[in-house]
Each structure stands twice: as C-alpha cells, then as structure tokens.
Amino acid sequence: MIKKGLIFFCFLGAFQFGFSQTEGIDAEHIKTIILKPMAINSYVPIVQLGEKILLTFDDLNADEHTYSYKIEHCEMDWQKSNLSESEFINGFAEDRIRDYENSFNTLQPYTNYSVTIPNETTKLKISGNYLISVLNEDDEVVFKRRFVVYEPSVNVGVAVFKSRDISYINTKQSVEFTINTPNLLINNPSDEIFPVILQNNNWQNAITGLKPQFFRGNQLLYKYNKETSFWGGNEFLYFDSKSIRNSSLNIASVALGEDLYHTYLFTNEERRDQPYTLSPDVNGNFVIRTLTGENNNTDADYSWVYFSLKTSQNLVGKDVFVSGNFNNWQLNNTNKLTYNETLGLYEAKLLLKQGFYNYQYVTKASNGTVSTHDIDGSFYQTENDYTVLVYYKKFGSRYTKVIGVGYGNSEKINN
C-alpha cells in the first residue's frame, strides 16, 4: 500500500536524454552480438529474476580464442553499484565461455560463442541493471552489453496516445502508465519510485525523472503528455539476406567478390515529406537466418552490405548514420555514411551476417543533437514498442531494484 493522501499532484517534469554509453565500442573482429531472453520472438534483454538470458557472438578470427564473461551490477544510471559480488551473485561473477563452434561451409570463417545467464557457476540473486562484459585472454574487454533483471512486485499498465500538443499532434506519441502496488509498502513514492520509459528498447532517448501525478488507493498514476512524448518516427527500413546468392526483399543485386558476397540494397530516399505508409517491421531488431544450412548460428555466412541514401536537403554540419539493434544503436565511424559527390548519394558498407534486418537513418548535428526524423520523418501512426521499467530504491537501501515492467504498443493508439 501507499502511505499518502488520496490525490496528489506533482509539477516536476521529466527528462529525455541518452544514458551514458557504458558499453563502449565493440572490437572490430567481434560481430553479430545478440543478448536476448530464451523465449521465441523475444528480442528485449529484460528478464524476470531466475529466467535465463542468452548471449551469442561471432569472432571473425576463427581461431577458437578463450573468452570469459564478467557480470557487474549497476545503478539506474548504469554506473557500477557499490555492492560486492557476493551480494548480487551466487557463485562467480566471472567465468570462461565454454560453448563455442566453428562456422561450417562459409566463405567468412568465424567461431560462434554462446553462454546463458544464470548457469551452473553464475546465478543472479537480486534484480537491477546489469552489464555483461566479454574479455579476451589478456583480460581486455572486447564488448559490453546491458540487460535488466526484474522481480514482479508491481503491475504496470501502459497506454499510448497521440500528443495533445497541437504542434506535434501528427508527429509525436505520448505514453501514459499506471503502477499498481497492492502487495508492496512504499513510504514515499515520489522519492523511492523511478520509472524509465524506452521506445523500441533504445536507451539513447530514454525518458526518466518522472514523479507520480496522482495517488489512487494502491495505484500511482502517470498521466503526463508533453513530458512523456516521443517522436513517432517512421516504420523501419528492412532487407532480408537469408538467400545470400540471390537478390530478394529490398536487395537490388548480389555479386561474388574475391572473398565474400557483396549485397547491394536499393537506394533509399528520404521520407520526411512523404505520406505515412504502413510497413510491418520488428521495431529495429534483426533475426539471423539462412536458407542454405540447418544451424543459423554457424551456417549463416557474412556479406558486405551496401547502403545508399538520396536526400534533397542540405545536411551540412550533420553526420548521417545507419542504425538499429544490429549495432546496438551506436553512432560511430563503422556505421557512418559518407557523401559520394559523383553519385550525389550518402553511402556506407557494413559486414553483416545473413538474416532479416531492420534499420533507420539517423543524423547527428555538430552540437551532439541526434535526430531519427530528419530523414525518415515522424508520424503519430508509426507502430512502436514501449517499455516502462519501475526502479525502486527504498530509503536507506544500498542498491536500486527493478520491481516491475510494463509493455505497450502504438498499433492501437488512443486519441
């Protein structure tokens, strides 16, 4: 129950910002990093305490290196908590990755590694934010990834609305949610409960800093509009390279080079001034698959995938990137497009494993401002996934729990 009056209103607003990029840059020879629950058709690295999460990745050196993983417990802002390992893990926080297998019948040789958490040597004891790092034989970190473990202490109801701000009514979506706490005693919800809203599991534009506006019995109500608004964006672009030798969905042509296949996508054009068109997607995610083998992890090959973008606007002072969950939403030189003056196109090539990929074009201004709608536009009709994570730090507690998670989708958007 909540120890407060029946109705309470808070004028404090929210913050929308990118959490610090605690993961860093992945090593160049490490590709196709996937961190997801074991459930089918589940892509978001959020699991209930006790459930398993799977990490897989490829090493293009293909020489069966010895890798180990390391688990760290973090606070809400993804900075390492002050807990000792024994306080959040039964067993060992660091251990060798023992499951690996070499690729079979692929032009690009690689070794595929996998590990599940929890396992026989590592069992998580508490909820919260976690970082998993993979280290090589020299104890150098080759990549990091975030995941969230929650305990179902509260229920979260999530609904998505059109923005009530007339200036953004056709371009933004607003998230409202209710936290139900029938079995949890919360003394001061405004200072102990910290919700975070994610759009398509992208921490770059997460919204935090929200206080409950109303208390109703055992419910905390968050009926913000402006403070919980996201750009609707556009449906993700996509291609499918499961048949690596042939052109297929949104692939213009395929050519065999000296060592690998080269996959050329159709040139994309900016969509910001075009009408919204429904195009089913997987909201920025990707699925590894191949038609020429039985085991997608080891039988899928790699190819150079060529992206090209035609724009009519002047993007001087802005960098353009191709982004999605396939590269952990990072914006760096690996996925940065360069302008080809001869063709009048922005171009990039990425080494990607066979599969179905969602992607979008993102701009970054010289002042650091990132926009997902400069090129693709933004529409309130766009189908997006929303996740509300409920963090709880009781007064005097040494760490922040995650006590609930709620999911919403804008497919059935409310007016």
Nearest Cα to Cα of residue 177 among 386, 7, 382: 386
Which of 401, 411, 410 shows the shortest CA–CA distance to 184?
Answer: 401
Question: According to the CATH classification, is domain 153-232+382-412 in 3.10.450?
Answer: no
Q: E strands of 169-260, at which residues?
A: 172-180, 193-199, 202-208, 214-216, 219-222, 229-231, 237-240, 251-256
pLDDT tens-place string over residues 140-167: 999 999 999 999 999 999 999 999 999 9
pLDDT over threshold 80, residue 131:
yes
Give residue 8's pLDDT.
Answer: 42
How far is the C-alpha of 178 from the C-alpha of 398, rounded, in Å?
Answer: 26
Q: Which of 15-24, 53-62, 313-322, 346-355 has the lowest mean pLDDT?
A: 15-24
d(CA 398, CA 78): 15
- The answer to whether 334 touches 213, Cβ cutoff 8 Å, is no
What is the DSSP pairing of strand 46-48 with strand 141-150?
parallel
The confidence score (pLDDT) of residue 151 equals 96
Q: Which CATH superfamily is domain 30-150 in?
A: Immunoglobulins (2.60.40.10)
Please say whether the beta carbons of 235 and 378 come within 8 A.
no
Compute the half-sphere exposure of residue 47: CA atoms within 13 Å on the CB side of its CA: 22
User: How far apart (Å, rounded) are the C-alpha atoms in residues 156 and 164?
Assistant: 23
Kindly tell me if the per-residue pLDDT of 259 is higher than 90: yes
Question: Percent of the chain beyond pLDDT 70?
Answer: 94
According to DSSP H, which parts of 233-315 are helical?
A: 296-299
pLDDT value at position 280? 84
- Per-residue confidence (pLDDT) for residue 22, from 0 to 100: 65
Domain 237-371 classified CATH 1.10.150? no
Per-residue pLDDT, averaged over 63-83, amounts to 96
pLDDT value at residue 19: 53
Write down the mean pLDDT value for the chain. 92
Q: Is the pLDDT of residue 212 over 60?
A: yes
Q: Is the pLDDT of residue 10 over 60?
A: no
pLDDT higher than threshold 90 for residue 90? yes
Q: What is the pLDDT of residue 21?
A: 56
Q: Give the pLDDT of residue 414.
A: 82
The token duo for 374 is: 């400069």
- Look-up of token digits 């979260």: 156
Q: What is the pLDDT of residues 330-387, one digit of tens each?
A: 999 999 999 999 999 999 999 999 999 999 999 999 999 999 999 999 999 999 999 9
184 or 356, greater pLDDT: 356
Average pLDDT of the residues in 268-272? 94
pTM: 0.92
Q: Looking at residues 301-318, what average pLDDT do you find?
A: 93
Specify the pLDDT at position 14: 59
Q: pLDDT band at 81, cuts 50/70/90? A: very high
* Chain region(s) in the chain for CATH 2.60.40.10: 30-150
